[in-house]
Structure 1
Amino acid sequence: MRVIGLMSGTSYDAIDAAAADLGLVGDGLVLRPLGMVSERYDDELRASLAVALPPGTVPMAEVCRLDTRIGRAFAAAAVRADRELCSGQAELVASHGQTVYHWVDRGKVHGTLQLGQPAWIAEATGLPVVADFRPRDIAAGGQGAPLVSLVDLLWLRGRPGTPVALNLGGIANLTAPDGTAFDTGPACALIDAAAHGFSGGRLAYDLDGALAARGHVHQELLDRLLADPYYALPAPKTTGKELFHIGYLHQALAGLGTLPAEDVIATLTGLTARTVADAVRATGGTEVIASGGGIRNPVLMRMLGDALPGVAVRTSDELGLPAQAKEAYAFAVLGFLTAHGLPGTVPASTGARHPSVLGSVTPGRGGLRLPPPAERAPVRLVLE
């Protein structure tokens, strides 16, 4: 089955559309990557989304408008991916949507909201669309995240030592071979917020870690940030920009005087490296395989390597899975599993009571024609 996976993460900089040929062969799921295209949100939509994200508050009319506009943007990305990567032969679209809120209270997740109405994707492509992946796991008592853990576990099965899959997006999350998976804390969320704030909106992020490279870690600020109770919570646990946003940073800076922007950003970069490294050590990781936008920050990757002496830190590109497209490919896999009646969660990773078949399906132009349910779930992922 030829599937397009659509993903926009917590950095909300672009929609990634990755296409893959997927098939069940014996006990394995074979994935042949066909490539990725990326569509940036237009400036007006990105600005509207930034205002709506926590700690912002918007009226329901704006939520409705965002749902439609994001849905149309996802639809455009899917159409382009089908045309450029699949020669018009795609059979299914799997859309994560854009997370705007993850409702966490005292460590328990009660709900989640991803915008990007899938009807626009189905109408534009004519294909069935699997969307709204996270709520089913939450309904089963899980965190609804990280959902890429199943793909990580299938992909890294049999690799020597204790390989840990790490995603560095707005939030950092990892998966260990025993199924332990959780958000470690911010990856780029606070760094991006600081770069944007200190530059008066001119910068969206710290390009190539240039600001952090010119700064020095401010120990008192780092200690304040590390004291956040989130880091001491047991796994499974999830977080997001509901906690780690610019207001959170302002609170941490209170009373410290005027710090150079470069020092603040260096400290936030150090915070990510430290909290990820602590999480890797807690899982006994002997190797880190990283993906996501954060790997393009050389200062962050250097700090992470320094914080994990004796642990190999490499990117998923080295193992054949494009690092910038990994999450989009992961949702293509999850959509494929749903279409075949197979669960897309691992209870050890999300804390759910049981595995669940994920998502809701929007029929395509020809109605809903799904393949026969698979007889058994795959136990490994094979990259061609």
Structure 2
Amino acid sequence: MRVIGLMSGTSYDAIDAAAADLRIEGDRIVLTPLGMLSRSYPEPLQAALASSLPPATTSLEQVCRLDTGIGQAFAAVAEQAVEQLCGGRAELIVSHGQTVFHWVDEGQVRGTLQLGQPAWIAEATGTTVVSDLRSRDVAAGGQGAPLVSIVDVLWLRGRSGTPVALNLGGIANITVVPGAGVEAPGRGTLALPGASGSAARPGGAGAEPIAFDTGPANALMDAVVRDLTGGQSTFDADGVMAARGRVHPELFARLLAEPYYARPAPKSTGKELFHLGYLAEAMSGLPQIAPDDLVATVTALTARTVADAVHAYGGTEVIAAGGGIRNAVLMDLLEQELRGVPLFSTDELGLPSAAKEAYAFAVLGFLTVNGLGGTVPSCTGARHASVLGSITPGAGRLPVSPPPEQVPVSLTID
């Protein structure tokens, strides 16, 4: 089945499309990458989105306008992907949409909202769309994140030691895949150990997979750069500002004292917590901090909090993806903080890092139309695995398949 995954992360800088041929062979899913493309949001839409995100307030009228505008933007990228990546034909499109609010109350996710009306995609391409993938997991008591954890578990479970998949998007998240104690899923779902929703034990035999947001990555760094440059720069290209600056010890200590880091996993967060106002509050009472030092400090914060999470769960290697891996200073700092734990990119294992999340959502939609669960309860904290998403029909038959004879327990990149 030719499937296109559409993704825009918490940095909301662009919409990524990744096309793949996906099939089930015995007890494994085989993914053949067909290519990717990326298109920036139209500037007026990006500005409207930025002005509506927390901690800003907005109106239902603006929410409706954004839902339409984002849906149309995703539809335009989907049309391009169908033609350029799939030769004019795709059986399924999977749209993550744009996260605009992730409602967390005392560590429990009460709701999550992704905008980008899928009807625009189905109408423009004539292709069935799977969307709204997070809400079902939230309804089952989960965090609704990180949803890519099931792909990480299926892909990395055969590696020795305790591999850790890292995504450096707007928010950094990891999936820890213990090398021992991971059993085959039960028939009819893709449920791995942890169906009770209990947290994994750190490392060792019998440990369960675990996944969680470690804290801010590009979202906080980008917001600082955008503010300091008056919008002339939207990110710290090549880590130039961070390289010129020095970490401010007092601010760094205040940021590390954030209670979120000490909360047990599974857990998730977003710009609702980590935004410019949050940083300004942490800087209260401090002497003026040089711009480059401020960027260096928030960059070091990401490296430290990611590495702390990897060490806490006994990670033996880190396999990274996401826009943050293009920041050489961040990667150098992370390598130092990991203290000898090898650091790779997913490119080295055959999966293009720039499109890893888009490919992951393509897999999630593929699981949905095959009647298979798309979550690992020990990773999201849900009571059970769930078939994810809502289906918007295209022009023809729904590409819904009966459950396969064997439930896949691994993922291979072909």
The SS at the match of 1:3 is: strand
Q: Distance in 2 between matches of 1:53 and 1:377?
A: 40
The one-letter code sitting in structure 2 at the alignment partner of 1:173 is N
Task: Number of aligned residue pairs: give it.
Answer: 384
Q: Distance in 2 between matches of 1:376 and 1:132?
A: 27
Matching of residue 212 in structure 1 with residue 242 in structure 2:
yes
The one-letter code sitting in structure 2 at the alignment partner of 1:267 is T
1:11-48 C-alpha deviation (Å, 9 max, x unpaired):
00000000000000011000000000101101111110
Percent identity over the alignment?
67
CA drift of 1:372 comes to 2.3
1:248-301 C-alpha deviation (Å, 9 max, x unpaired):
111111111211000000000000000000000011001000000000000000
Map 1:1-384 → 2, pairs under 5 A: 1-177=1-177, 178-384=208-414
The SS at the match of 1:174 is: strand
The SS at the match of 2:66 is: helix
The one-letter code sitting in structure 1 at the alignment partner of 2:45 is L
**Long gaps (5+) in structure 2:** 178-207
CA drift of 1:367 comes to 4.7
Q: Distance in 2 between matches of 1:250 and 1:369?
A: 49
Q: Distance in 2 between matches of 1:377 and 1:353?
A: 20
CA drift of 1:377 comes to 2.4
CA drift of 1:89 comes to 1.8
- If the length of structure 2 is used for normalisation, what is the TM-score? 0.92
CA drift of 1:369 comes to 4.3
The SS at the match of 1:250 is: helix
CA drift of 1:371 comes to 2.1
The SS at the match of 1:357 is: coil
Q: Distance in 2 between matches of 1:264 and 1:236?
A: 30
Q: Distance in 2 between matches of 1:36 and 1:26?
A: 27
CA drift of 1:376 comes to 3.6
Q: Distance in 2 between matches of 1:108 and 1:372?
A: 34
Q: Distance in 2 between matches of 1:52 and 1:356?
A: 31
The one-letter code sitting in structure 1 at the alignment partner of 2:240 is A
* Contact map agreement 2:26 2:406 (CA 8 A) in 1: no
The SS at the match of 1:173 is: strand
Q: Distance in 2 between matches of 1:190 and 1:304?
A: 16
CA drift of 1:368 comes to 2.9
CA drift of 1:374 comes to 2.3
* Contact map agreement 2:320 2:345 (CA 8 A) in 1: yes
* Contact map agreement 2:164 2:316 (CA 8 A) in 1: yes
Q: Distance in 2 between matches of 1:115 and 1:2?
A: 24
CA drift of 1:160 comes to 1.3
The one-letter code sitting in structure 2 at the alignment partner of 1:134 is R
1:346-370 C-alpha deviation (Å, 9 max, x unpaired):
0000000000000000000125342
The SS at the match of 1:144 is: coil
Q: Distance in 1 between matches of 2:50 and 2:129?
A: 26
The one-letter code sitting in structure 1 at the alignment partner of 2:137 is D
The one-letter code sitting in structure 1 at the alignment partner of 2:39 is E
1:45-74 C-alpha deviation (Å, 9 max, x unpaired):
111000111101111000000000000000
Q: Distance in 1 between matches of 2:211 and 2:291?
A: 33
1:95-116 C-alpha deviation (Å, 9 max, x unpaired):
0000000000100000000000
The one-letter code sitting in structure 2 at the alignment partner of 1:66 is L
The SS at the match of 1:330 is: helix
- If the length of structure 1 is used for normalisation, what is the TM-score? 0.99
The one-letter code sitting in structure 2 at the alignment partner of 1:276 is V
Stretch of structure 1 that moved more, 369-378 or 164-173: 369-378
Q: Distance in 2 between matches of 1:378 and 1:53?
A: 38
Q: What CA RMSD, in Å, does the superposition of the two structures yield over aligned residues?
A: 0.7
The SS at the match of 2:242 is: helix
The SS at the match of 1:202 is: coil
Q: Distance in 2 between matches of 1:264 and 1:376?
A: 52
* Contact map agreement 2:151 2:363 (CA 8 A) in 1: yes
1:109-157 C-alpha deviation (Å, 9 max, x unpaired):
0000000000000000001000000000000000000000000000101
Q: Distance in 2 between matches of 1:275 and 1:258?
A: 25
Q: Distance in 2 between matches of 1:125 and 1:26?
A: 31
